[in-house]
Structure 1
Amino acid sequence: MSGDLIEWADIVFVMEKAHKSKVNSKYDKLLKHTPVVCLAIADNYVYMQPELISLLIQKVSLHIHLEG
């Protein structure tokens, strides 16, 4: 994650409360009007693990409309 991405984002999703705290603290000034949403997913999955993808789709879809 970088400041450029934070400035570009309409919403930031994190998996755990600890991640939200770190993002809020590091990018406080850039997050003026950008919500940071904690998905409450334990960060113990491997990259692209099917179970993780399923959880992400389920939880993110509560906040945005996913097409396809």
Structure 2
Amino acid sequence: MPRVLFICSRNRLRSPTAEQVFASWPGVQSDSAGLSPDAEQVLSLEQVQWAELIFVMEAVHGRRLKQRFAAALKGKRVICLDIPDNYDFMQLELVRLLEQKVGALLR
């Protein structure tokens, strides 16, 4: 059962949408967090260690993730989805984009 972590800046729109979408997929465990200090769920070392596959929404998130958690990322796959911060929580277009980009990697 893959353990999948979704990361954005503030964990309010994109990453919690992804967590919710893929939580209902059979055989997938999902979680989400943000890298900003004011995130709803600030990314923790435990989350990084838990994850088998990590998706970041933008390249800047990948850079920040590597700066803060370099040692914990050894052997982990980090994938940038290139999804800009211009969607609302559970917006249909965002859900479809996530299913298209992430779904193919989880099948």
TM-score using structure 2 length: 0.57
1:64 and 2:106 are equivalent in the alignment = yes
Q: Which amino acid aligns with 2:95?
A: I
Stretches of 4+ aligned residues off by more than 3 angstroms: none
Q: Percent of pairs identical after alignment?
A: 40
Unaligned regions of 5+ residues in structure 1, if any?
none
**What residue in structure 2 maps to residue 32 of structure 1?**
74
Deviation at 1:5, TM superposition (A): 0.8
**What residue in structure 2 maps to residue 16 of structure 1?**
58
**What residue in structure 2 maps to residue 45 of structure 1?**
87
Whole-angstrom CA distance in 2 between matches of 1:59 and 1:24: 22
Whole-angstrom CA distance in 2 between matches of 1:24 and 1:50: 30
TM-score using structure 1 length: 0.86
> How many residues end up aligned between the 2 structures?
65
**What residue in structure 2 maps to residue 54 of structure 1?**
96
Structure ranking higher in strand proportion: 2
Q: Which amino acid aligns with 1:29?
A: A
Q: Which has the higher contact order (CA 8 A, sep 6+)?
A: 1
Q: Which amino acid aligns with 1:18?
A: V
Deviation at 1:40, TM superposition (A): 1.1
Whole-angstrom CA distance in 2 between matches of 1:47 and 1:23: 22
2:87 counterpart SS class: coil
Root mean square deviation, CA, Å = 1.0
Q: Which amino acid aligns with 2:54?
A: V
**What residue in structure 1 maps to residue 47 of structure 2?**
5
